[in-house]
């Protein structure tokens, strides 16, 4: 029995060689950004809420980042755990030039000048209230005064040698303010990767456990976006683009592939997507239980994010993936 079919899509899948030729989407270590947690002291700690991830002391950070870079990963992004005694309601530790992040940037750039160092710009690790912005007496998150502190924080990172600052706070007008501050201080070459469409997501839970940075009261819904909204992401993207962002980010990644796709169609700026801690943890825990094949599910999740339109992906799996692709 033979059907008369002029179109047999299976012909383009008939061998590994042809599948290689027709493949539309690629994933290489060069597409990956490796998020790293850092802490003071001389030892590393396992992160209970994120099995397989550690908080690195600065010596180990340099080693870990160096290994990742040697595997072809072009960039890391740093997240500090700040001691409670350094946290305050004004979050001034975030622009201390002797703070943990500036020292980490210096150590990394000294050892690996070609490694791109990205820093997170937001107040939550430093703020005793656990919010990304300053909190007023009535509990509201203050926009404009927060932007002022974020500018100091970004400048402190730029002075230490950061290549890219990544505001994750979702305050209005922060990209323009950061650009102006950096330019005024002659940091025209420091890039801004803006968390453009950052949703108020339950998938951030394990990350907040890693840094002990959960909000003490309330939630982040007055600044992070409502998961129900897509068109609002276009509004954020238009503003960030007009304000001078170099790269737009969507976060989380997997549950928001439509947003990545939408931004792709509306901007010529490069797009980053952040496969966040909850996405990591779901794959880790299902594979630890033997329910899914970790390597294959990770690969598929990242290809899906690339296919949706992300140029680069922040993922806690970066080093593992780079090793496998190597």
Q: Which residues bind ligand PBG (CB under 6 A)?
A: 120, 122, 124, 132, 168, 204, 207-208, 220, 276-277
CA separation, residue 3 to residues 8, 11, 12, 315 (Å): 10, 15, 18, 46
Does residue 78 contact residue 153 with C-beta atoms inside 8 Å? no
Annotation marks residue 284 as catalytic: no
Does residue 261 contact residue 302 with C-beta atoms inside 8 Å? no
Our CB check for ligand PBG shows the closer of 181 and 277 to be 277
At 292, phi and psi to the nearest 5?
A: -135, 160
Q: How far is the CB of 120 from ligand PBG (least distance, A)?
A: 5
Active-site option among 54, 87, 220, 251? 251
At 37, phi and psi to the nearest 5?
A: -90, 140
Q: Is 247 helix (H, G, I), strand (E, B) or coil?
A: strand
Q: What is the token pair recorded at 22?
A: 């027709």
- The DSSP call for residue 7 is -
Q: How far is the CB of 147 from ligand PBG (least distance, A)?
A: 14
Q: What is the token pair recorded at 186?
A: 């002659």
Q: How far is the CB of 263 from ligand PBG (least distance, A)?
A: 18
Our CB check for ligand PBG shows the closer of 187 and 199 to be 199
Closest CA to 196 of 178, 211, 175: 175
Number of neighbouring beta carbons within 10 Å of residue 74: 16
Q: How far apart are the first and last CA of the chain?
A: 45
Our CB check for ligand PBG shows the closer of 113 and 218 to be 218
Please tell me the distance from the alpha carbon of residue 293 to that of residue 244, in angstroms, as a whole number: 41
Q: How far is the CB of 197 from ligand PBG (least distance, A)?
A: 13
Q: How far is the CB of 210 from ligand PBG (least distance, A)?
A: 8
Active-site option among 198, 220, 284, 319? 198
Our CB check for ligand PBG shows the closer of 212 and 258 to be 212
Annotation marks residue 198 as catalytic: yes
Q: DSSP assignment of 176-234, as one string? A: HHHHHHHHHTT-TT-EEEEEEEEB--GGGHHHHHHHT---SSS-STTTSBPTT-SHHHH
Unique residue bearing structure tokens 């598929």 = 300
Our CB check for ligand PBG shows the closer of 21 and 217 to be 217
Our CB check for ligand PBG shows the closer of 115 and 276 to be 276
Q: How far is the CB of 249 from ligand PBG (least distance, A)?
A: 10
Catalytic residues: 198, 251
């Amino acid at each position: 029995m033979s059907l008369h079919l002029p179109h047999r899509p299976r012909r383009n899948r008939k061998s590994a060689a042809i599948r290689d030729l027709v493949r539309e989407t690629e994933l290489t270590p060069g597409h990956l950004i490796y998020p790293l947690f850092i802490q003071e002291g001389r030892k590393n700690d396992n992160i209970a809420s994120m099995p397989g991830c550690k908080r690195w002391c600065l010596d180990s950070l340099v080693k870990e980042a160096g290994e990742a870079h040697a595997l072809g990963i072009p960039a890391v992004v740093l997240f500090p755990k700040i001691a409670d005694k350094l946290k305050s309601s004004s979050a001034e530790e975030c622009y201390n030039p002797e703070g943990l992040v500036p020292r980490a940037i210096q150590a990394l750039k000294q050892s690996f000048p070609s490694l791109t160092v990205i820093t997170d710009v937001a107040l939550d690790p430093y703020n005793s209230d656990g919010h990304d912005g300053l909190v007023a007496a009535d509990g509201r998150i203050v926009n404009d005064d927060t932007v002022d502190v974020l500018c100091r924080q970004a400048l402190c990172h730029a002075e230490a040698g950061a290549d890219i600052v990544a505001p994750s706070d979702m305050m209005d007008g922060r990209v323009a303010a950061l650009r102006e501050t950096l330019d005024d201080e002659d940091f025209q070459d420091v890039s801004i990767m803006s968390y453009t469409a950052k949703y108020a997501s339950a998938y951030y839970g394990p990350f907040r456990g890693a840094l002990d940075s959960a909000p003490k009261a309330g939630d982040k819904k007055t600044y992070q976006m409502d998961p129900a909204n897509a068109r609002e992401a276009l509004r954020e993207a238009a503003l960030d683009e007009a304000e001078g962002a170099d790269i737009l980010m969507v976060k989380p990644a997997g549950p928001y592939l439509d947003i990545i796709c939408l931004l792709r169609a509306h901007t010529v700026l490069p797009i980053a997507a952040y496969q966040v801690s909850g996405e990591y943890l779901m794959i880790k825990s299902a594979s630890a239980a033997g329910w899914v094949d970790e390597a294959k599910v990770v690969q598929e999740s990242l290809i899906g994010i690339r296919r949706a339109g992300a140029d680069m992906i922040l993922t806690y799996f970066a080093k593992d993936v780079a090793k496998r692709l190597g």
